[in-house]
Amino acid sequence: MSVLVLSEHDVRELLDMESCIAAMEDVLARLARGELTNPLRSLMLPPGPAAMGLMPAHSAGDEPVFSLKEIVVAPGNPERGLDPHQGSVILHDGATGQLIAVINASPITEIRTAAVSGVATKLLARPDSRIVAILGSGVQGRSHVDAMQTVLDDPIIRIWSRNPSHAEALALETHSLVATSVEEALDGADVVCTATSASEPIVEAKWLAPGTHINAAGAFPNGKARELSSETVAAARFFVDRRESTLNESGDFLVAAAELGFGPEHIIAELGELLNGDATGRRTADELTIFKSMGIASEDLAAAQLLVARARERGLGSEVDF
């Protein structure tokens, strides 16, 4: 049996942002229609800062596929010059169980997370949105700049980071501006992308302009860490990629719900329901909208399937006897 192995370099060569956004639109719509199985991730939190997550998914249909992302999140990696997310996405034939591919998970996680924020921005931001605040200058900050430049027309992007030199480097690389504070970054912004490892809120509702759309893509999914204040979450029409994941893992939602007394009904819809026309997104120009990204296994499955198809078309990757 031959197994396709795709390296980080292979993934970056094969997975562009525009195609990944289209793949995320397709898989989220299919997930909302019940065509995929997406259990909650399993987290192992041993002593020390690193944690491991196991994220399985299954896609039904004529060519069923199982996927599993095994990922280690190591918060200290940026200081080592490494991506905080290290692991692999593996694909199995859904009928025979045979292993199809083993793929580097770091660039998949980087690109597909921002691609889903791109989907949410297309669905929920005002059509004339142009000013973007990116909070965070790491791997996800960089990929969110790419996503916003893909879905918005000539955006003006401001970058804030706890590390000003990192913000300056990313701004220079992406032709963006540097903000010296979160407040400055958010001032008049049409779209906000939070891509930090914050454990306590960094975004306050009073700093946001009317009609802002927020993609909240950071904070570890332990039910406690959050980037948005409770008042911000409560004031918004709130959208997610997966209700079950949000209600079990999202500190942004769970802490705000506990503090302010709202429940699951505060989640208006999943993105897939918007894509399928089963729910309404933004209703007025002045509404605050939030997309809380949990980063779910179905998204990794879709990215991996796209990568395998493209790799075999172009003869990239390594075929290994297994």
**Residue appearing with tokens 């909302």:** 32
Q: Count of domains in the chain? A: 2
The token pair that represents 274 in the structure block: 């918007």
pLDDT level of residue 306 (50, 70, 90 thresholds): very high
Distance, in Å, from the CA atom of 88 to the CA atom of 300, rounded to the nearest integer, reads 10
Please check whether residues 47 and 96 belong to one and the same domain: yes
Model pLDDT for residues 12-68, shown as the tens digit of each residue: 999 999 999 999 999 999 999 999 999 999 999 999 999 999 999 999 999 999 999
> What is the per-residue pLDDT for 289?
98
Q: How confident is the model at residue 81 (pLDDT cuts 50, 70, 90)?
A: confident
pLDDT per residue over 112-136, tens digit each? 999 999 999 999 999 999 999 999 9
Whether residue 11 contacts residue 304, with contact meaning beta carbons closer than 8 Å, is answered with no
87 and 142 assigned to the same domain: no
pLDDT at residue 1, rounded to an integer: 80
Cβ atoms of residues 212 and 192 within 8 Å: yes
Report yes or no: 33 and 276 within 8 Å, Cβ to Cβ: yes
Residues facing residue 237 across a β-bridge: 289
Distance CA 197, CA 140 (A): 10
Length of the chain: 322
Per-residue pLDDT at 83 exceeds 90: no
Q: Are residues 58 and 177 in the same domain?
A: no
Judged on CB neighbours under 10 Å (0-12, 13-18, 19+), 62 is exposed
- pLDDT at residue 258 in the model: 98
Does residue 252 share a domain with residue 157? yes
CA 166, 159, 105: angle at the middle one, nearest 5?
Answer: 65
Give yes or no for residue 75 having a pLDDT over 90: no
Can you tell me which residue has the tokens 């302009």?
209
Mean pLDDT across 302-319: 97
- Are residues 154 and 39 located together in one domain of the fold? no
pLDDT of 187 higher than 90:
yes
Question: What is d(CA 231, CA 296) in angstroms, rounded to the nearest whole number?
Answer: 26
Domain with 218 in it: what CATH number? Answer: 3.40.50.720
Query: Which CATH number do you get for residue 18?
Result: 3.30.1780.10
- Cα separation, 117 vs 222, in Å, equals 20
Shared domain for 122 and 87, answered yes or no, is: no
Domain containing residue 85: 2-108+298-321
Average pLDDT value for the chain: 97
